[in-house]
Amino acid sequence: MKIVNVVGARPNFMKIGPLMAEFVKHPHIEAILVHTGQHYDEKMSELFFRQLEIPEPDINLEVGSASHTVQTAEIMKRFEPVVLEHKPDVILVVGDVNSTIACGLVAVKSGVKLAHVEAGLRSFDRSMPEEINRVLTDSISDLLFCTEQSGIDNLLHEGIPQEKIFFVGNVMIDTLLKNKGKADDSNILNQLNLDNNDFAVVTLHRPSNVDNVIVFNQILDALEVIQNDMPVIFPVHPRTHRNLYSMSLGNRIDAMTGLRLLDPLGYLDFLKLMSSAKIVLTDSGGIQEETTILGIPCLTLRENTERPVTVTSGSNHVASTETVKIVEAYRKILNEDSLDIDTPPLWDGHAAERIVQVLVNKLLVL
């Protein structure tokens, strides 16, 4: 059984790691890892591979940065020869980045079965590029692996046959639980001179937030309030860093003495930072999930979430991007004595095992 596994951006690495480790346990599976190169710099790519003990990619397409259209097209052009050469039984894609839909399209146009890990998530916001990638990938997949009940419900509503859908849990949580002990040994708090549970962490990368100067300023207005209460640690995504200075926001950032900008962190350091924080503010989907397991309050700086189980579980609050609403949600959380969090079903560290077992059981009858 030959499976070509595709990663392209940092969120993919945490999802593919447990799967690659599980494939090794099955001698009859040949697992080939393809890195499209959508994220390609040291801190956004290679460091994660080392820390998560993911094997070196067998193939790197080295696509690099470009517009959504150009990047998607270039991945397809470079991935097709890989499929023609290796003739896999299944192509497995994860998440919702451009690499996911690009390689998914190549799979089905080449007559190869397609498996999608993290299927069915919906924000119902078609202005998000990730939402388009999710919807299209799910519509062409043969095996759809879901992290939460909402994903199953969405797929059934869209007419996906029940027999293609599998509730397996969350491979992101597999990675978190496996690495939590190592992250606890990180020295990042000492390096930054931080006290446990006495600071906030913020991450921003979505174009709707960091490409729009009005929205970006609204978020900064809220951070200005919060950094007066506690240190705000801000590992800055490369896209966000470019916009901070192209939008002439640098002076404003420099004036916030409680806001500390960092280069992107490795997985273990960031996990330690996040698990020690008083509160996390983010527009990332994966961080909404990780804070749910860590029991850390999360403010999602968006108008919606494709991961509603993080809200119903009690850790995540969709705060929007309006200054007043962010500050209100922040103060409400500070006044709560403790979080009452329910762990989502099957977020137990064994999602990769379930996925691989389905692949083994189903491949011969597809």
- CA angle, 173 then 174 then 179, to 5°: 95
Helix boundaries (H) for 37-170: 47-51, 68-86, 98-109, 129-140, 149-157
Residues tagged active-site: 205
Of 111, 109, 73, 76, the C-alpha closest to 90 is 111
Inter-residue contact 59 to 81 (CB < 8 Å): no
| Backbone φ and ψ of 194, nearest 5° | -110, 150
Inter-residue contact 299 to 333 (CB < 8 Å): yes
Helix axes 171-184, 285-294, angle to 10 degrees: 60
235: which residues sit within 8 A by CB, 6+ positions away? 201, 203, 262, 263, 264, 265, 270, 273
